[in-house]
């Protein structure tokens, strides 16, 4: 029989054995509208722990915009900068992938607010019929549209054999009490149509390699022991799967995109019996917690 997943009352229960936390942002530190203040406080307390190696926190987000843009959002929501040492986003990795294709003629599928991901790069944004590369950052109107609204264009692009860079592999994110569709849904539809997709972000290995490199750079290049690294997130498909594939421990925050499935919706105030739900998942976290708290 599979061993039960421990339910933690706070990060303090496992913090001593960790030097580095790779923490998800949306669903853990904020809900798309306001900060989860206790989560920021927990990371601040982790960073203050004594030890032979300074404790570090790198925020790893599938946001389709550069890290400085995410930091401005965190500032606006009230997430303290003292809670983390750095930010790595799928937008940062997307920029690297585009930069490797100088002069690309890009069809951008996504809202205008994501245009910062292209700033300063050697590319031209063009209509669909002139493109030689597709970069998907999301739906143009993620409050009203669905992937079905994009099927005709995606079919045309796939028939032409264009590669799509998916700048946000998430399928959905939490916004208040709603789940909002993300670029990952469009990328999945594109792949189903036979299109080639390159994913920038979790659960894919390059983002974890980049995050560990960023953490090592903070300490003069000294690499972290992967056995002392913890990934925290609210999504089985990205956060937990990615951590497992990379060989690091993971902590699932229940009050995120899986809240309804786990019985911790707004109408329920206690973490229910999650064993049966977890047993049906392809991957399992090393621990689970209702909220990220100390």
Q: What is the pLDDT along the chain (294 residues), one digit of tens a residue?
A: 567 788 899 999 999 999 999 999 988 999 888 899 999 999 999 999 998 899 999 999 999 999 999 999 999 999 999 999 999 999 999 999 999 999 999 999 999 999 999 999 999 999 999 999 999 999 999 888 888 999 999 999 999 999 999 999 988 876 666 778 899 999 999 999 999 999 999 999 999 999 999 999 998 887 789 999 999 999 888 999 999 999 999 999 987 666 666 665 554 445 556 767 777 888 899 999 988 999
- Residue 226 makes CB contacts below 8 A (sequence gap 6+) with 212, 246, 247, 248
Domains parsed from the chain with CATH numbers? 11-91+203-289 (3.40.50.1000), 97-199 (3.40.50.1000)
Q: Are 89 and 63 in contact (CB under 8 A)?
A: yes
Comparing CA positions, the residue from 178, 232, 247 lying closest to residue 43 is: 232
Three-class DSSP labels, 141-201: CCCCCCHHHHHHHHHHHHHCCCEEEECCCCCEEEECCEEEECHHHHHHHHHHCCCEEEECC
Q: Give the tens place of pLDDT for each residue, 117-168.
A: 999 999 999 999 999 999 999 999 988 888 899 999 999 999 999 999 999 9
Which pLDDT score is estimated for 268? 47
Q: Give the tens place of pLDDT for each residue, 239-272.
A: 999 999 999 999 999 876 666 666 655 544 455 5
DSSP state of 12: G
Beta-strand ranges (E) seen in the chain are 20-23, 56-61, 86-89, 104-109, 123-125, 133-136, 163-166, 172-175, 178-181, 196-199, 229-233, 249-253, 287-289
């Amino acid at each position: 029989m599979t061993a039960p997943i421990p339910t933690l009352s706070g990060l303090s229960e496992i913090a001593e054995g960790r030097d580095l936390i790779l923490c998800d942002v949306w669903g853990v530190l904020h809900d798309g509208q306001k900060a989860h203040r206790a989560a920021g406080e927990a990371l601040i307390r982790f960073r203050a722990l004594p030890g032979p190696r300074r404790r570090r926190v790198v925020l790893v987000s599938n946001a389709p915009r550069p890290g400085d843009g995410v930091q401005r959002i965190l500032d606006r929501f009230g997430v303290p900068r003292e809670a983390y040492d750095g930010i790595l986003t799928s937008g940062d990795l997307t920029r690297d992938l585009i930069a490797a294709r100088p002069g690309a003629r890009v069809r951008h599928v996504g809202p205008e607010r994501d245009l910062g991901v292209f700033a300063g790069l050697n590319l031209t944004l063009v209509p669909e019929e002139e493109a030689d590369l597709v970069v998907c950052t999301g739906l143009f109107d993620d409050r009203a549209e669905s992937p079905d609204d994009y099927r005709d264009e995606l079919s045309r692009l796939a028939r032409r054999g264009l590669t799509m860079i998916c700048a946000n592999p998430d399928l959905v994110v939490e916004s208040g009490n709603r789940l909002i569709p993300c670029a990952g849904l469009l990328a999945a539809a594109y792949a189903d149509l036979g299109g080639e997709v390159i994913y920038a972000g979790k659960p894919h290995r390059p983002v974890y390699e980049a995050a560990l490199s960023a953490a090592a750079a903070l300490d003069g290049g000294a690499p972290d022991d992967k056995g002392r690294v913890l990934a925290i997130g609210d999504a089985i498909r990205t956060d937990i799967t990615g951590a497992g594939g990379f060989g690091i421990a993971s902590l699932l925050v229940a009050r995120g995109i899986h809240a309804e499935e786990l019985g911790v919706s707004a109408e329920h105030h206690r973490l229910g019996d999650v064993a049966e739900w977890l047993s049906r998942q392809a991957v399992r976290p090393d621990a689970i917690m209702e909220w990220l708290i100390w």
